[in-house]
């Protein structure tokens, strides 16, 4: 087989795979619609609430302290994540299986992605703690220094990347094309969220650095 024939065959296979992803995804499923809605809603929710807290301190006032306010937001975000995952798993159970995504290879790769994704998520939470994980800097609870140990020495945003890997792994493990589309939505939404979070967080820490410098100067 020459290289041109090989490329043509691979392109044809890829096109068939893409077509199957679309044709085998039931977009009319209520659970799937809810799952996609929650995937989009959750990062929007915590960014809006965190920005509002930073400007008004409304959660701090309601809870009585910044730490309790952050814990309340953490519990809310965690609960929304569980609800999202429930609808995602429930939706995938009802979605068609792809013949191109079945077999031991996809099963093992799916398990590997799930395991690695959870490793990134759990190790990130261990390194950051609750307030570091759940937007404590918006409450004025800042970390003393940047975390550079695993997984942050290999990944810029291991929480988001680990969650994306977990969604992808679950889709591959179950052989469901609908899961691949959901994973793409997860990836897109997290990247949009980072465009808002990273500059704002950098601004918060830059402000503290300037205040510390002023104190030392005085």
Which residues sit in the known binding site for S-adenosyl-L-methionine? Answer: 115-117, 197-198
How far is CA 172 from each of CA 73, 139, 198, rounded to the nearest angstrom? 32, 38, 30
Closest of 189, 6, 25, 188 to residue 101, by C-alpha: 25
Torsion sign, CA atoms 35, 41, 47, 49: negative
Q: Which residues make Cβ contacts (< 8 Å) with residue 88, sequence separation at least 6?
A: 35, 38, 39, 167, 170, 179, 182
Annotated binding site: 115-117, 197-198
Task: With residue 82 as reference, give the H or E element that holds it.
Answer: helix 66-94
Distance, CA of 126 to CA of 41 (rounded, Å): 26
The answer to whether the CB of 121 falls within 8 A of the CB of 163 is yes
The pair of three-digit structure tokens given for residue 142, joined into one six-digit string: 């800042």
Query: Cα separation of 177 and 95, whole Å?
Result: 8
Contact 182, 171 (CB under 8 A): yes
**Measured distance CA(209)–CA(211) in Å, rounded:** 5
């Amino acid at each position: 087989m020459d290289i041109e024939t090989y490329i043509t065959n691979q392109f044809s296979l890829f096109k068939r795979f893409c077509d199957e992803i679309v044709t085998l995804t039931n977009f009319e499923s209520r659970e799937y619609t809810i799952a996609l809605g929650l995937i989009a809603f959750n990062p929007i929710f915590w960014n809006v609430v965190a920005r509002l807290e930073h400007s008004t301190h409304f959660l701090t006032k309601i809870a009585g302290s910044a730490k309790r306010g952050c814990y309340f937001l953490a519990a809310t975000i965690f609960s929304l994540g569980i609800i999202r995952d429930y609808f995602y798993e429930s939706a995938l159970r009802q979605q068609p299986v792809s013949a191109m995504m079945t077999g031991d290879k996809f099963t093992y790769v799916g398990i590997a992605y799930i395991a690695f994704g959870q490793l990134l998520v759990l190790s990130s939470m261990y390194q950051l703690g609750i307030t570091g994980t759940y937007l404590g800097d918006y409450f004025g609870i800042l970390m003393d220094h940047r975390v550079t140990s695993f997984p942050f020495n290999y990944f810029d945003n291991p929480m988001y990347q680990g969650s994306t890997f977990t969604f992808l792994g679950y889709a591959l493990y179950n052989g469901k094309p609908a899961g691949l589309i959901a994973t793409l939505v997860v990836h897109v939404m997290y990247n949009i969220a980072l465009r808002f979070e990273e500059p704002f967080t950098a601004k918060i820490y830059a402000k503290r650095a300037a205040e510390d410098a002023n104190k030392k100067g005085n």
